[in-house]
Amino acid sequence: MAAPGPSSFENMVRAHSGDLYRFAYWQCRDRFLAEDVVQETFTRAWKAWSTLESHSSMKSWLYTILRHEIARLYEKKRLRIDPDQDLDELRSDGQPDPVLAVEMREALQALPFAYREPLLLQVLGGFTCGEIAKMLSVSEAAAMTRLSRARAALRKLVEPNRLQLEHVK
């Protein structure tokens, strides 16, 4: 298969940059680091553009590059998490409640990385359990277990807070 051209690459960047940024932001919790990691992801993707075998695997290919870039950050230094993150950065069209946004941020931060990563790949990346398993180099059963445990841990972390808020009202 012939390598896709520069205009195809530009279209790919436009199509996936927002999703990649959201995933990177949720992983490193710093918008400038997230922007840098996504930029480095696209730089590496451009260098390897001729090796892309199928357009259908483009999204998972990009997320794999992004995950490796985030891992490089963790290897270089421990990422600092800012507990005073601006609420506006947490808001999205699907989640306008700032209280819920803060609760979810704190709950996600409390999850072990092994649970947080597959959950974000599913929720933000839209990947199936099988795709996540391949990306993480684990069995599909292990990916399903991690996702299930991540959801259960989130429920345990968020539900007590929701009950306290309902009693206050």
What is the DSSP annotation of 37-70? HHHHHHHHHHHTGGG---GGGHHHHHHHHHHHHH
Domain-terminating residue out of 52, 82, 112: 82
User: What range does the domain containing 114 cover?
Assistant: 95-169
Q: What's the pLDDT tens digit per position in 156-169?
A: 887 765 555 454 44
- Structure pTM? 0.58
Mean pLDDT of 100-116: 81
More confident position, 6 or 72: 72
Q: Which residues of 61-72 are buried (b: 16+ CB within 10 A; e: fewer)?
A: bbbebbbebbee
8 with 60, same domain: the answer is: yes
Q: How confident is the model at residue 109 (pLDDT cuts 50, 70, 90)?
A: confident
Q: How confident is the model at residue 38 (pLDDT cuts 50, 70, 90)?
A: very high
Distances (CA, A) of 123 to 26, 44, 86, 87: 11, 24, 22, 20
138 domain residue, yes or no? yes
124 with 169, same domain: the answer is: yes
* pLDDT reading at 5 higher than 70: no
CB 96 within 8 A of CB 104: no
Q: What's the pLDDT tens digit per position in 117-152?
A: 898 888 888 888 888 999 889 998 999 999 889 888
Highest mean pLDDT among 72-81, 89-98, 149-158 belongs to 149-158
CB 74 within 8 A of CB 45: no
- What is the Cβ-side half-sphere exposure of residue 133, based on CA atoms within 13 angstroms? 11
- Residue type present at position 57: S
Across 38-52, 81-95, 96-110, 154-168, least confident range: 81-95
Can you give the CATH number for the domain in which 169 is found? Answer: 1.10.10.10
Helix (H, G, I), strand (E, B) or coil at 136: helix
Q: How many domains does the chain have?
A: 2
* Length of the chain measured in residues: 169
